[in-house]
Amino acid sequence: MSGKRATREAYGPTLVELTREGADIVVVEADLSKSTTTAKFAAAYPERFFNAGVAEQNMIGTAAGLASGGKVAFTGSFAVFATGRAYDQIRNTVCYSKLDVKIAPTHAGITVGPDGGSHQMLEDIALMRVLPGMRVLVPADVHAAAAAIRLAAATPGPFYVRLGRAAVPVIHPEGVEVGVGRAAVLREGDDVTVVACGVMVAEALAAADLLAADGISAEVVDAFSIKPLDAETLLASARKTGAVVTAEEHSVIGGLGSAVAELLGEHRPVPMRRVGVRDSFGTSGEPDELMAHYGLTAADIAQAVRELIGSS
C-alpha cells in the first residue's frame, strides 16, 4: 500500500480520459458535480454534461433517454440519493429496458463522516444487486475505481459502481485488471478466507497481519464484483480454508455477506461470520471513529476470525 486517495477521485478524470479516447459518453448530474468530481468532465466536455438539479429521479430519466439514443450515460449524486430516491426509475426505466446507464454515485457508507445517518447509505448494494440485469462493482481503491469505470463504460447495460468520499489506502497498481464476475486473491492463506469489498479490503489485509502474529493464516479476497460474484474463486478458497468471514461497509443484510452466504449455502457450506453494520442507521462522526463504533476495523475482523475458528 502507498498513500491514501478517495475512490471518487477516479470518477471525473476517468470519464474525461475515456471521452478523449473516443467513447461516446454523457454525464447527468444532480447538482453535486464538485463533490462527485464530475465537474472535471463538465469543464472538459460541457456539451456532454447535463445538470438535472436536485432531482435525482429526473437525473436517471434523462440518462435513460440519452442511453436510448445511443450514448453511454453515467450519473452522479451521492449514493443515498442516487439509489434511494430514484429506485423506481432505475428499476422500471433503466434495468427493465436494459439501457446503457452507469450509476456511479459517491459518498457511500459510513465513511461519509459528519453528515450523519441521513447521508450514510448502508443499503445500496442490497437495493442494486436485487435488480435483474444490474452489475454491482465495489472498488477497493482509486486505481480499482478507475478500472471499474472503464469496465462499466465498455460493457453494455446497467452498472452500479460504488464510490466513497474518504481517502483510503492505495492497494492496487495503476492499470489494475478487473472484470465482471472476477475477484482477486490478494493474500494466500490456509486457515480462513476473509472476503472484503471497498474500504474494507485494506482493513482485511491489516487483519491478516494481526492474525499472522497469532499463527493464523488468512487468505484475503477482494470481492470487486459483488454481482455477479466470482463463484469459482470464492468456492475454491472456501474449500481450501474451510471457514469464511466477510467484511463490508454496508448492512450485513442484503450486501456482500448475504451474497457470499447464498453462494456457500448452495454449493459449499462452511462456518461463516459477517462483519458489517448490523441493522442500524449511521450516525455523525469522523470516518475512523465510525469504523470503530460499528465494528469495521482490522481488529474487529481479526476478532471475528478468532471467534469463528474457535467455535468450529
Question: For the residues 211-221, what does the mean pLDDT come to?
Answer: 97
Q: Find out if CATH 3.40.50.970 is the number for domain 4-169.
A: yes
Q: What are phi and psi of 186, to 5 degrees?
A: -90, -20
Q: Is 219 helix (H, G, I), strand (E, B) or coil?
A: strand
26, 75 contact by CB (below 8 A): no
Give Cα separations from 61 to 137, 160, 295 (angstroms).
22, 16, 38
Q: What's residue 308's pLDDT?
A: 97
User: What is the C-alpha to C-alpha distance for residues 261 and 310, in angstroms, rounded to an integer?
Assistant: 20
Rounded percentage of the chain residues whose pLDDT exceeds 90? 98
197, 140 contact by CB (below 8 A): yes
Q: What's residue 310's pLDDT?
A: 87
Catalytic residue list contains 56? yes
Q: What's residue 2's pLDDT?
A: 66
pLDDT, tens only, 57-80: 999 999 999 999 999 999 999 999
Question: For the residues 159-185, what does the mean pLDDT come to?
Answer: 97
Quick one: CA dihedral 66, 70, 71, 72, positive or negative? Answer: positive
pLDDT, tens only, 115-157: 999 999 999 999 999 999 999 999 999 999 999 999 999 999 9
Domain boundaries, the chain: 4-169, 184-311
Same fold, 4-169 and 184-311: yes
User: What is the C-alpha to C-alpha distance for residues 94 and 158, in angstroms, rounded to an integer?
Assistant: 7
Q: Does residue 19 surpass a pLDDT of 70?
A: yes
pLDDT, tens only, 247-305: 999 999 999 999 999 999 999 999 999 999 999 999 999 999 999 999 999 999 999 99
User: What is the C-alpha to C-alpha distance for residues 170 and 103, in angstroms, rounded to an integer?
Assistant: 23
CATH number of 184-311: 3.40.50.920
Q: Does residue 1 surpass a pLDDT of 60?
A: no
pLDDT, tens only, 32-61: 999 999 999 999 999 999 999 999 999 999
Which DSSP letter does residue 7 get?
A: G
User: What is the C-alpha to C-alpha distance for residues 311 and 46, in angstroms, rounded to an integer?
Assistant: 58
Q: Does residue 225 surpass a pLDDT of 70?
A: yes
Q: Does residue 312 surpass a pLDDT of 60?
A: no
99, 68 contact by CB (below 8 A): yes
Q: Does residue 199 surpass a pLDDT of 90?
A: yes
Helix runs in 155-255, H state only: 200-213, 231-241
CA dihedral 138, 81, 59, 6 (to 10 degrees): -40
Name the catalytic one among 29, 56, 219, 248. Answer: 56
Q: What Rg do the C-alpha atoms of the chain give, in angstroms?
A: 19
Confidence of residue 311 (pLDDT cuts 50, 70, 90): low
Cis bond upstream, residue 228 (ω within 30)? yes
User: What is the C-alpha to C-alpha distance for residues 223 and 246, in angstroms, rounded to an integer?
Assistant: 10
With CA atoms as reference, report the closest residue to 78 among 111, 48, 45.
Answer: 111
H/E run at residue 14? helix 11-20
Question: What's the mean per-residue pLDDT of the chain?
Answer: 97
Residue type, 111: T
